């Protein structure tokens, strides 16, 4: 048996997120369907991150086990020949059987893009959060520092009542950068709770607008209550940029 690792880019606009859903197009669903055409078998495809509907990826990683002896380069070409243009497989590698795209991940990098100009951009439609009011990047940076470290992120996550998830997470770095009309928030973390990056970004935007003090992020974190940060940045600004395996810089 072989274990194959896929590195996948996708524009999430036309998908109901990564994870397979009945009767809805999803990225995982499209990949499984296409792999079935090529390999003539149903594969169990494990993705590193369950990105939400409308979220994009530059470096999603997935793996599956197969008895097929197809060459990795041939599989890559076959996949890209059959997949729609908004999903591309940029790499196929054979990896040890122990590799699991989700469990073996050491850390992830997400990037959130905000298009900050009075008038929206035709080129950023569904590819960034269009935010027309002034944002103070320095204030956003100050606030971002409070996210770094090991914290209980209950305030900054969607409570998942079906499962008892440990709300303690480690965020290793948050960068806020501005270039032209685009503000990018880059977040490095070992793992993330549901909606965590989008709630963090929405909170930073409130700070950048002047509606919250940078320090208040610390108090909100301590409150451990989602109701004190009832914000959510839209999915179209979020990109899963990289999943790290053995090369996480933190």
Residues numbered 127-166 forming contacts with a copy of itself, rule: CB under 8 A: 127
Half-sphere exposure of 90 (CA within 13 A, CB side): 11
Catalytic residue among 42, 52, 86, 215: 52
Nearer to a copy of itself, 212 or 243 (CB): 243
Contact 188, 172 (CB under 8 A): yes
Question: Whose CA is closest to 183, among 122, 232, 125, 130?
Answer: 130
Stretch of 39-47, 80-88, 95-103, 228-236 contacting a copy of itself, by CB under 8 A: 80-88
Give the residue, chosen from 81, 122, 180, 230, that forms a contact with a copy of itself under the rule CB under 8 A.
122
Question: Whose CA is closest to 198, among 209, 6, 206?
Answer: 206
Measured CA distances, 193 to 16, 151, 236 (Å): 19, 12, 18
Is 89 one of the binding residues for a copy of itself (CB under 8 A)?
Answer: yes
Contact 197, 238 (CB under 8 A): yes
Residues contacting 133, CB < 8 A, separation 6+: 209
Stretch of 6-14, 18-26, 62-70, 152-160 contacting a copy of itself, by CB under 8 A: 6-14
Is 67 one of the binding residues for a copy of itself (CB under 8 A)?
Answer: no
Nearer to a copy of itself, 88 or 158 (CB): 88
Sign of the CA dihedral with 172 first, then 238, 185, and 193 last: negative
CA angle 15, 19, 20 (to 5 degrees): 85
Give the residue, chosen from 82, 97, 120, 150, that forms a contact with a copy of itself under the rule CB under 8 A.
120
Give the residue, chosen from 24, 74, 97, 125, that forms a contact with a copy of itself under the rule CB under 8 A.
125
Report the SS3 class of residue 190.
coil
Nearer to a copy of itself, 53 or 148 (CB): 53
* Smallest distance, a copy of itself to C-beta of residue 57, A: 9
Is 42 a catalytic site residue?
Answer: no
Place of tokens 């969607």: 158
Nearer to a copy of itself, 115 or 146 (CB): 115
Is 50 one of the binding residues for a copy of itself (CB under 8 A)?
Answer: no
- List residues with catalytic annotation: 52
Contact residues: a copy of itself, CB under 8 A: 9-11, 56, 76, 80, 85-90, 119-123, 125, 127
């Amino acid at each position: 048996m072989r274990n194959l690792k896929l590195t996948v880019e996708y524009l999430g606009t036309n998908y109901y997120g990564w994870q397979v859903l009945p009767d809805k197009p999803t990225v995982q669903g499209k990949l499984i369907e296409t792999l079935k055409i090529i390999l003539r078998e149903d594969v169990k495809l494990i993705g590193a991150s369950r990105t939400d509907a409308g979220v994009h990826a530059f470096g999603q990683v997935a793996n599956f086990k197969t008895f097929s002896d197809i060459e990795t380069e041939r599989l890559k070409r076959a996949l890209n020949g059959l997949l729609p243009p908004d999903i591309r497989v940029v790499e196929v590698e054979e990896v040890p059987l122990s590799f699991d795209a989700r469990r073996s991940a050491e850390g992830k990098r997400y990037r959130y893009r905000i298009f900050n100009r009075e008038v929206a951009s035709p080129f950023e439609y569904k590819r960034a959060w269009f935010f027309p009011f002034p944002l103070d990047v320095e204030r956003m940076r100050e606030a971002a520092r409070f996210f770094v470290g090991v914290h209980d992120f209950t305030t900054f996550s969607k409570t998942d009542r079906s499962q008892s998830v440990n709300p303690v997470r480690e965020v290793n770095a948050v960068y806020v950068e501005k270039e032209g009309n685009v503000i990018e928030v880059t977040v490095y973390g070992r793992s993330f709770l549901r909606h965590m990056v989008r709630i963090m970004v929405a909170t930073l935007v409130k700070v950048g607008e002047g509606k919250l003090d940078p320090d208040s992020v610390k108090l909100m974190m301590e409150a451990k209550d989602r109701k004190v940060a009832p914000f959510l940045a839209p999915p179209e600004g979020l990109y899963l940029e990289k999943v790290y395996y053995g090369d996480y810089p933190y």
